[in-house]
Amino acid sequence: MLTQNQLKLAVAQKAIEFVPDDAIVGVGTGSTVNLFIEELSRIKGRIRGAVSSSEASTERLKAHHIPVFDLNAVDDVPVYIDGADEINHYLHMIKGGGGALTREKIVAAVAREFICIADETKYVSVLGQFPLPVEVIPMARSHVARELVRLGGHPEMRHGFTTDNGNIILDVHGLSIAKPVEMEETINQIAGVVTCGLFARRRADVLVLGRQNGVDVIR
């Protein structure tokens, strides 16, 4: 029986196959991506560098001497590699367990292809068991929380946490998300929300899924 960490390592290694030569690679955030960064450092001679979705990943990339570019100075990101907290069979995701959802969504929007790397515990039929992270401008906290309750959720402030953008996170429990695209749009329209952790409009193009009997590539 492989551990979750071994499954994460297997998908991190497989993801290297999706990295083209000379690319500037979009790099996500989280423990699965940390393993991917290790793998990327082994082939750093054949890429130009990376664009990063968080201060934490930037630090790690730099520690491995992988050049990190300002996203504004880059016009082509062929692939974005990132993990997920949950991913459904349509490759819609909940992300933001690490609080980097907004920058992740920005880099994902620029990238031509989103490769999600996840172990099988993340692969679900209906999103929402994992509390949905929502990044909120601090002065709008109470207003946004009330609106999220109206949508049927139970928002909980992530105490002691500030995003790389200086904002707070509300983790919303109890949402069973049958229509991810509509839910993403509804939450993103609440005044004071920067973005929510639903990646449905910009879903993954490829899922590299770590299973006990091997790694599956799902498109």
Ligand X SMILES: O=C(CO)[C@H](O)[C@H](O)COP(=O)(O)O
Binding residues (CB under 6 A) for ligand X: these are 28-32, 82-85, 95-101, 104
Between 133 and 192, whose beta carbon lies closer to ligand X? 133
Instruction: Note if 135 is an active site residue.
Output: no
**Both structure tokens of 139:** 């002065």
Q: Least distance from C-beta 94 to ligand X, angstroms?
A: 8
- Minimum CB distance to ligand X smaller for 29 or for 58: 29
Using the 8-state DSSP alphabet, how is residue 131 labeled?
Answer: P
52/71 Cα distance (integer angstroms):
8
Tokens of 204: 């993954």
Q: Tell whether residue 171 is among the known ligand binding residues.
A: no
Residue keyed to tokens 């974005």: 80
For the bound state, the minimum distance from the C-beta of residue 150 to ligand X, rounded and expressed in Å, comes to 25
Q: Which one of the listed residues 38, 55, 59, 104 is annotated catalytic? A: 104
84 among annotated binding-site residues: yes
CB 76 to ligand X: min, Å: 23
Q: Is 96 annotated as a binding residue?
A: yes
Amino acid at 211: R
Q: CB within 8 A of 7, min separation 6: which ones?
A: 119, 120, 210, 211, 212
Which CB sits closer to ligand X, 31 or 41? 31
In 53-161, beta strands by DSSP E: 79-82, 86-87, 93-94, 113-119, 132-136, 154-157
Annotated binding site: 29-32, 82-85, 95-98, 122
Binding residues for substrate: 29-32, 82-85, 95-98, 122
Q: Which residues are catalytic?
A: 104
